[in-house]
Amino acid sequence: MLETLREWNPWWAQGRVPENKKQRPRPGILDDLHRLVEAREIILVNGVRRSGKSTLIYQLIDRL
């Protein structure tokens, strides 16, 4: 199981999210999410398909 998690999360070993996962930056939204994470709030990111939810989370992971 741990090996599968390492495979799915390459930033664990590399220390950063691959550039192809981050795409176009959204600093305003990212700043808001980062404040919520620091406040230890539960965050739900929802939206229509292909709206950039995963990209936003990858950007947040990279910032953390």
Show contacts of 14-22: CB within 8 Å, 24+ apart. 16/62, 17/58, 17/59, 17/61, 17/62, 21/54, 21/55, 21/58, 22/55, 22/58, 22/59, 22/62
What was the pLDDT predicted at 41? 79
What was the pLDDT predicted at 31? 92
* Total-model pTM: 0.75
From first to last of the 64 residues of the chain, give the pLDDT tens digit. Answer: 989 998 888 888 888 888 888 888 888 888 998 998 888 878 888 999 998 899 999 999 888 8
What was the pLDDT predicted at 48? 96
